[in-house]
Amino acid sequence: TPFRAVVLTLFPEMFPGPLGHSLAGKAQADGLWSLETVDIRAFARDKHRTVDDTPFGGGAGMVMRPDVVDAAIAGSYPGEGPIVYLTPRGRVLDQPLVKDLAREPAVTVLCGRYEGVDQRVLEARGVLEISIGDFVLSGGEAAAIVLLDAVVRMLPGVVGKTESLEHESFETGLLEHPLYTRPQEWNGIPVPEVLMSGHHARIDAWRRDQAEDITRQRRPDLWSRYVAAQKQEQEGRS
């Protein structure tokens, strides 16, 4: 049974966007997942189709009304899976969370515009707040596309066995090693000799060294965790 993504947004025309192309688009055409876009404005009750209002207590911008957002959820929730609200205040997305979401039968994604959504509807609906990183977007739509792209490629059957997910960044706890292809010499720069050797054990060892070096240099946070995990493994073996 295919994975269902339901996106609630004031800008339904932004979807499917990139999710209609490449890997995610192919997977949708193959029936591995479906995307339903719901226009929040269709759930506004007044003749001006109002979805937002000024914040109580003052302050800049506009806040999405809880009654309208609640009606949009009531009218489109698929009956299973988490309701995710994309906000820089949320838990920061990482690959373990992506994998958890990919194990769900469905994910309902609420995209905010303006300054945000009234807190009461988030609590009443038990919404899971997720951020895609420590920066601020003008709305949740781009974040929803990022989140769903990451989730869809983890669904069973989406990425073929040959592309195998197991060596990629974050799976091993390291950033991935650098990649090279033809031509063998470009701009006077040769491909590293070892990759031309056909010696698979040496190639694997070289790639692991490269991955470790780049992770140590760029991501001391990942490196510390990796070193700790290696140490745990060492202890487990002895």
* Contact set with ligand ADE (CB under 6 A): 86-88, 131-133, 135-137, 140, 143
**Minimum CB distance to ligand ADE, residue 107 (Å):** 14
User: Between 86 and 148, whose beta carbon lies closer to ligand ADE?
Assistant: 86
Binding residues for S-adenosyl-L-methionine: 112, 132-137
Query: Which two structure tokens, joined as six digits, stand for 123?
Result: 């609590």
In the numeric block, the tokens 């309701």 are attached to 83
User: Between 56 and 135, whose beta carbon lies closer to ligand ADE?
Assistant: 135
Binding residues: 112, 132-137
**Minimum CB distance to ligand ADE, residue 164 (Å):** 29
Q: Of 38, 12, 43, 16, which Cα lies nearest the Cα of 27?
A: 16
Q: How far apart are the first and last CA of the chain?
A: 44
Classify burial at 233, counting beta carbons within 10 Å of its beta carbon; exposed 0-12, middle 13-18, buried 19 or more.
exposed
User: Between 11 and 180, whose beta carbon lies closer to ligand ADE?
Assistant: 11
Question: Alpha-carbon dihedral of residues 135, 136, 137, 143, nearest 10 degrees?
Answer: 50
**Minimum CB distance to ligand ADE, residue 12 (Å):** 17
User: Between 89 and 202, whose beta carbon lies closer to ligand ADE?
Assistant: 89
Whether the CA torsion 213, 133, 127, 152 is positive or negative: it is: negative
**Minimum CB distance to ligand ADE, residue 9 (Å):** 12
The amino acid that residue 69 corresponds to is V
